[in-house]
Chain A
Amino acid sequence: MSLLKIDSLTHRFGGLTAVSDINYELEEGGIYGLIGPNGAGKTTVFNLVSGFYNPSEGDIIFNGERINGLPPHEVASRQIGRTFQNIRLWSEMTVLDNIKISQHYQIGYGIADAFFKTKKFQKRENEITQKAMELLKIFKLEDLAYEYPSNIPYGIQRRVEIARALSLGPKLLMLDEPAAGLSTADVVELIDYIKWVHETFKITIWMIEHQMQVIMSLCEHIKVIDFGKEIADGLPEEIQNNPQVIKAYLGDGEI
């Protein structure tokens, strides 16, 4: 059984069909890519999977469970982690708090426990802090635990954001243009970093990316969409030489 199955997914914004009839099956443990020119509907596909939109047609099956129509926090609690094109850390909270808050789906206590600092509250808060610190150690970010994201270099912020997404303990990690805004040197590091995350946490990764270097050196399977429709699907080498993909990216030569 595949981890994530997208079945003839279609989404319309009013009269505009942003995504039409997309099918995709992600097997457990792979790294998958979703590419396409600007405005092709890639992020819309991600937003549909993570629950920001309810698809007009089609189904999203995660781990054997239909998840379309669930609000984003419910999708997140089913262990789908995600990052954004522009970094969305809580910049006014410490890195540690950023990581801790993502334990909300298994917080295990209520408001009254917080008021009276019950045993349950103390036990859970301790566990949450320890878990967060352990994760930061794995990522070698423990020195930044009490730092605010706004004081951290952009490249490191990306890593913190990925670490935060992983603190959900996800089975599937969705990266929306992880290399956006990074320098060439940072991009090379990011590639190694994503490889390392993939090996260390044994998770499935699905990414949107524009930089071919990233896609080609990481992904084992790629889907290309344009104007919301699938135009190609296959191994990186096949995609690279697919005339339709080249046409979508570069135009067809008629000026």
Chain B
Amino acid sequence: MDSTKINEQKKHINLWPALVFGGALILFALVAVGVINQYIQTVIMFIGINIIMSSSLNIVNGYMGEFSCGHGGFMLVGAYVSSALSVLLFTDSSWVGHSLLPPSTAIFLFPVVIIIGGIVSAFAGLLVAIPSFKTRDDYLAIITIAANFIFVSLVNNLEFVGGSRGFMGMKNAIYAMEDIIRLPYMLIWTVTFAVLAVFFIRRLMRSTFGKGISAIRYDEISAEIMSVNTNHMKVVAFMFSSGLAGIAGGLFAHVLGFINPSSFNIMKSTESLVMVYLGGMGSLSGSVLSAIIFTFLLEAMRPLQILKWVLIPLMLILLMQFIPEGLLGNRELTDVFPKLKRFFRRRDI
């Protein structure tokens, strides 16, 4: 790039931090004033969770070009691990008795609990990553579905976390936090985690290291011959992706206050797939956009009840038929509307 181009780019102001922090501040202010009611807050939280789900699945299905359809399984692992930890550490329950830590510590330790759920889930991702060394495409898709079923049936048969009846009590940790300072904790944390997830995915995928993941998508043999350790990159991609799904699961569990294994079955994975393909494979802004649209759609379809589960898979069929590349393809919003670039500095370091 010649020097004039670099100078030109330096003039651009990076609006991202201002936009994100400003938006979050306005949101929390509105909540504090009481303009946003509980229902809208819940919708915003689901948007946050869905952004994490779609953008994390996009790492594997979009950037890496593999086909994982078991994302719900990893959400389950994160949800159960962090819920169990919450109940164990912060609440007095009939399940394990007295809380192991004073409930007030939840204020600081809650994000840690969510992250631990993510880490355990990341290791569950190895279950899919290791077979992916040898198989691709359809075969890997089958393996991921199988993994999803394994997690669901495993928890169905684990009596100490409630089996198929489900697990609850983690909400008490949130109540314990609210007893100290009244804040919309779940809203704060879902928004924070969603922003961080997108931020870290963006940073990874723009680095030369992360571009090794995209190299696998475009030509795996080429990647190997150009010294990219593809097995290592697959482990990185699968673990990062499933770890984020675990974080989304933990947040989901604490928002609802009740989880059961069937909330994370193949339907959940299908939801994530719809979001990724709606937004466009390999487009991070597409994933964010589609998570927002999809959450609103789900809410709009709520009165339809069971019919919803006919319409969502139908949407996937229609998407594949008419806009297989999704809303944005593998472009970003700034590629579709080049004028936006003025506000979001792109640095080619």
Contacts and interface: CB of A to CB of B under 8 A. Distances in A.
Interface of A: 50-52, 71-73, 76-77, 82, 84, 88-93, 97, 100-105, 107, 109-111, 114-115, 117, 121-122, 125-126, 128-129, 145-146, 164-165, 168
B222 A89 contact: yes
Contacts of A84: 221-222, 225
Interface band, chain B: 20 to 34
A104 B200 contact: no
B299 interface: no
Contact of B212 (A101, A115, A122, A128): A101
B219 interface: yes
A104 B212 contact: yes
A113 B106 CA distance: 29
Contacts of A111: 204, 209, 236, 240
A77 B349 contact: no
A125 B207 contact: yes
Contacts of A128: 208
A105 to B, nearest CB: 4
Nearest to A103: B208
Contacts of A102: 226-227
Contacts of B43: none
A72 B232 CA distance: 13
Contact of B228 (A50, A73, A82, A97): A73
A77 B240 CA distance: 25
A153 B295 CA distance: 45
Interface string B187-227: 00000000000001001100111111011001101111111
Nearest to A128: B208
Contacts of B263: none
Nearest to B206: A114
A71 B231 CA distance: 10
A101 B227 CA distance: 8
B41 interface: no
A127 to B, nearest CB: 10
